[in-house]
C-alpha cells in the first residue's frame, strides 16, 4: 500500500487474456518478485552460518547503507567479532550507537580509518586478524564521481587493491567484494 491507502494490483497481459481462460484469481497484489525481473535467490543459511559463525569479520564501508546492512545481517550468524571500518566519523559513530542497542554476544568494534592508507589498513589487520572480509567501501554516486574521477579511482581502484593485498598478506579465509558500480549511460 502507498500513502493513499490504495493497493497496487497486477492483471494478466493482453496476450494472456486472449490466449487463456483467465479468472479473477489472476488479479492479485503486486509482489516485489514482479519487480525483480529474475528468480528470487534462496540463500543457503547453513553455509552462511558455517562461514561466519564464531569468526572475526571485517566490513569496510561499514557506516554506509550497504555496509551497515551487512553488519546487521552478519549479526544473525553470530560471528565472534565484527570490525566495522569506515572513514566517516559521523557514520561510524551512528553505527556504533545503533549496534549498542542490539542484544548480541558478538563483539562489535568500530574503526575510523580509510582504505586509501595502506599503513593504517595494515595496522587494522594486524590488530584484529580478520578471517572474513566484506569490502563494501567505495564511492557509489556516479554523477559525483564524474566530477571527481581521481577520487573514484583512488578509493574504488587503489583502495580496493589495498584491502585485497592486505587480506592476502594476513591469510584472510574469504574476501567478498561487494560491488555496487553502476553505469548511468552504458
Alpha-carbon separation of residue 172 from 80, 131, 160, 163, 165 (angstroms): 15, 5, 15, 11, 10
Catalytically annotated residue among 9, 123, 169, 182: 182
Q: Which among 182, 183, 164 has a CA at the least distance from the CA of 174? A: 164
Q: Summarize the chain as % helix, strand, coil (round to 5).
A: 45, 15, 40
Please enumerate in sequence order all residues whose Cβ is within 8 A of that of 52, keeping only pairs 6 or more positions apart, or say none. Answer: 74, 77, 78, 79, 132
Known catalytic residue at 9: no
For the chain, what is the radius of gyration of the CA atoms? 21
Measured CA distances, 90 to 18, 75, 102 (Å) = 57, 22, 19
Grid cell locating 177: 567484494
Kindly list the catalytic residues.
Answer: 182
Amino acid at each position: 500500500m502507498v500513502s493513499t491507502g490504495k493497493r497496487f494490483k497486477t492483471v494478466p497481459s493482453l496476450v494472456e487474456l486472449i490466449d487463456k481462460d483467465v479468472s479473477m484469481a489472476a488479479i492479485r497484489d503486486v509482489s516485489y518478485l514482479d519487480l525483480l525481473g529474475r528468480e528470487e535467490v534462496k540463500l543457503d543459511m547453513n553455509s552462511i552460518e558455517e562461514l561466519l559463525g564464531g569468526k572475526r569479520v571485517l566490513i569496510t564501508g561499514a557506516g554506509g547503507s550497504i555496509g551497515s546492512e551487512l553488519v546487521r545481517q552478519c549479526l544473525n550468524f553470530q560471528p565472534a567479532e565484527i570490525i566495522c571500518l569506515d572513514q566517516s566519523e559521523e557514520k561510524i559513530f551512528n553505527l556504533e550507537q545503533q549496534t549498542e542497542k542490539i542484544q548480541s554476544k558478538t563483539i562489535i568494534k568500530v574503526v575510523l580509518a580509510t582504505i586509501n592508507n595502506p599503513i593504517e589498513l595494515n595496522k587494522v589487520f594486524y590488530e584484529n586478524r580478520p578471517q572474513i572480509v566484506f569490502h563494501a567501501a567505495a564511492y557509489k554516486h556516479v554523477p559525483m564521481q564524474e566530477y571527481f574521477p581521481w577520487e573514484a579511482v583512488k578509493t574504488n581502484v587503489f583502495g580496493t587493491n589495498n584491502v585485497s593485498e592486505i587480506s592476502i598478506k594476513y591469510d584472510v579465509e574469504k574476501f567478498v567484494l561487494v560491488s555496487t558500480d553502476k553505469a548511468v549511460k552504458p
